[in-house]
Amino acid sequence: MRTSTAGWGSGLLGVIIFSGSLPATRVAVGGFTPLFLTAARAVIAAALAAALLALLRQSWPARRDLPSLAIVAVGVVAGFPLLTALALQHITSAQSIVFIGLLPLATALFGVLRGRERPRPAFWLFSTAGSLTVAGFALWQGGGASLTGDLLMILAILLCGLGYAEGAALSRRLGGWQVISWALVLALPVMAGAALATMPDDWTGVAMPAWIGLGYVSVFSMLVGFVFWYRGLALGGIAGVGQLQLLQPAFGLILAGLLLREPVAWTMIAATGLVVLCVAGAKRFA
C-alpha cells in the first residue's frame, strides 16, 4: 500500500511538470524550428544526464537493456517532442493539450504488451471513456481544427505511450532517473548532429520567451519530469498511475490560458472535466 501511494504521489509530480511542456513548446517554436528544438532540448538534457550519471558513478546498462533504451529514446526523446512541435505549428497548445487525454489509454495498452500488466475489465471501461471524450472533442471543434495537427498529435501520443511503458518496465531494474538518463545519452550522437545541422543562421532574432521555453522543455520536460514519472509508474503500476495523465489537460489548459493568453473554449473545459472524472474509476480498478 505504501509503495502504491508513493508511486501515485511521484507520478502526480511528474504530470504537473509535464503540464508545462506543450505551452513551453508553443512558445519555443516561435523562435526555433521544430527540428532544432527537438534536437537542442535532447542535447541539453543529455549533457545534464551524463554529468549526473558520472557524478553518481552509475554502471553502464547491460547489453540486453539497450533495445529497451532505444525504444525509450525513439518514443520520448525524439518522437514525441518532434511530433508535438510540428503539431503546434498547426494548432494551439490548448487544443493539443486535450489530446494528452489519450496518453493514459496508450500507456495502458503498451503496459499490457510490454509490462505484462493485466488491469480488470472495468479499468478499460473508464480508460476508454476518457479517450472517447477526447475524440469527441476533436470532432466537435470541426472547422477550427487542423487535420494535420490532429494526426501529428495522435502519432505523438502513440510513440509517447510506448516510451512510457517501456521505460517504466525497464526502470524496475535500472531505476527511474537512470532510464531516462541513459536513453538521453544513447540518443546524444544523433541529436547533436541534428542540432548542428538545423541550428539558426541568426541568433539575434530569437526572443527571450523562446529561450525560456527551450530551457523548460530541456531541463524539466526532458529530464526532471521523467525522474518522478518513471518512478511512479514502476512503483504504482504502469496502467494505474498512467491514468494520472488524465489530469494533465486540466493543468495544461490553466497554463495555456494564464501564461499564453490562448482562448480556452467551453468545449475544452467540458472535455477536460469529463476526462478527469475517469481517473477515480480507472484508479480503483487498475
The residue ranges of every structural domain in the chain are 2-198+207-285
pLDDT of residue 169: 85
Asked if residue 255 lies in contact with residue 23, where contact means CB atoms within 8 angstroms, the answer is yes
Cα 212 from Cα 260, distance rounded (Å)? 13
Predicted confidence at residue 231, as pLDDT, reads: 87
Task: Retrieve residue 208's grid coordinates.
Answer: 527571450
Within a 10 A sphere around the Cβ of 201, how many other Cβ atoms? Answer: 5
Side-chain-side CA neighbours of 221 within 13 Å: the count stands at 29
Are the C-beta atoms of residues 256 and 97 closer than 8 Å to each other? yes
Rounded distance between C-alpha atoms, residue 84 and residue 97, angstroms:
10
The pLDDT assigned to 226 comes to: 87
Mean pLDDT of the chain: 83
Under DSSP, the state recorded for 201 is S
CA pair distance 93, 84, nearest whole angstrom: 9
| Angle ∠(267,269,274) on CA atoms, nearest 5 | 95
pLDDT score at 33: 92
Residue 64, pLDDT score: 93
The model's pLDDT over 189-237, given as tens digits with 9 standing for 90+, comes to 999 999 999 999 889 889 999 999 999 999 999 999 988 988 888 888 8
**Among candidates 88, 107, 93, which has minimal Cα distance to 245?**
107
What per-residue confidence (pLDDT) applies to 260?
67
Residue 219: exposure state from Cβ atoms within 10 A (0-12, 13-18, ≥19): middle
In whole angstroms, how far apart are CA 173 and each of 1, 48, 138?
21, 22, 39
Question: In whole angstroms, what is the distance from residue 102 CA to residue 243 CA?
Answer: 10
Query: In 10 A of CB 173, how many CB atoms?
Result: 14
- Residue 284 is predicted with a pLDDT of 61
Quote the pLDDT of residue 201: 87
pLDDT at 279: 61
Averages of pLDDT over runs of 10 residues in the chain (286 residues) are 74 88 86 93 96 93 93 94 88 75 79 70 75 68 68 92 89 87 96 95 90 95 90 80 76 71 70 69 59
Q: How far apart, in Å, do the first and last CA atoms of the chain sit?
A: 14
